[in-house]
Homo-oligomer: A and B are copies of this chain.
Amino acid sequence: MSLIKSCGFVRALLKNKDLKSLIEKDIKLIDKKLDEYLIGSNPKELWQAMRYTALLEGKRLRPILALESTRICGADHLEKVIPSACAIEMIHAYSLIHDDLPSMDNDDFRRGKPSNHKAFGEAVAVLAGDALNSYVYQMIIEHTPKTLKPEVLLNVINIISKASGPNGIVGGQVADILAEGKDFDENTYNYICEYKTAGLFEVAMKIGAVITEASKEKFEALSNYGKLIGIAFQIADDILDITSTQKVIGKTPGKDLQSGKATYPIVFGVEKSIKRVNALCKEAIGSIKSKNIDSALLLKIAEEIITKVSNNDS
């Protein structure tokens, strides 16, 4: 079993014009800030390789969720969350670089361009991933406005570090690798979904609540939304791998089936998978509604996942 990152589904999802219009400004903001934070001079080749993947055209959904979570809890704190939001995107980029390596998924392309090791060689790709992984903490500390309390920033760093390491993405990726060639185990699939994919969605929602010092109840509701939506994304992406066309998801469909990888829809069928995605998204909506959280974007994301998957109109 090996899960595909949910980039294909994000791409399909954001074809919806209402959703796109809700986030267009934020995409531009994040792109501008990523570009600004990733300026380094030496060694030139290393910074080029780091920028190559981190600045690949993307929908920036994870950092945008961090902005939205901050807006929900206290919009005047927005400046304070931007470096941490960009850190999440950089960690996502580092994980993509290492996932694509020949010793991992051995993918030659990423978002329609040669993967990092194809463009810069394997050694520099490993190191570009390492560099992004280390750099985020320096970047957060140096770029976050000093008006944010140091103890709050430590909490943010702790959340990001935990979600990135053995108790997060890396743990999920190892579980994913170890599950390959074994019989499908639903608990393991859930573990991988939760840590490898949903982790950064969850972190994005958490840090908005932490930076604004929101109530514990709000923190939990937003965090829960991120986790549920993240898992729904992964299953939706796995469904699309079976039902969609290359044009829609920007990569070869049917890759899981061809390679004999076991995913949720392959094992339980598309119908049961759609039902699970629906249930996850409805639970995510319920989580925020129960705390009277009013966010057009969070609602639209959950609803659009349901629509996209149910109608299979991708």
Contact = CB atoms under 8 A, between A and B. Distances in A.
Interface of A: 40, 42-43, 45-47, 50, 98, 101, 103-104, 121-124, 126-127, 129-131, 133-138, 141-142, 149-151, 153-154, 157-158, 160-162, 164-171, 173-175, 177-178, 191
A121 B103 CA distance: 9
Contacts of A134: 133, 161, 164-166, 168-170
A171 B255 CA distance: 36
Contacts of A42: 171, 175, 191
Contact of A50 (B50, B166, B169, B177): B166
A178 B43 contact: yes
Contacts of A154: 141, 150, 153-154, 157
A91 to B, nearest CB: 8
6 contacts: A103-B123, A103-B126, A130-B170, A131-B166, A135-B167, A137-B137
A190 to B, nearest CB: 13
Nearest to A135: B165
Contacts of A153: 150, 154
B167 A138 contact: yes
A126 B46 CA distance: 18
Contacts of A169: 134
Nearest to A179: B43
Contacts of A167: 40, 135, 138
A46 B170 contact: yes
Q: Which of A150, A167, A174 has the most CB atoms of chain B within a 10 A radius of its CB?
A: A174
A178 B135 contact: no
Contact of A46 (B46, B47, B101, B171): B171
A161 B174 contact: no
B123 A166 contact: no
Contacts of A162: 138
Given A135-B161, A164-B134, A174-B45, A122 B150 contact: no
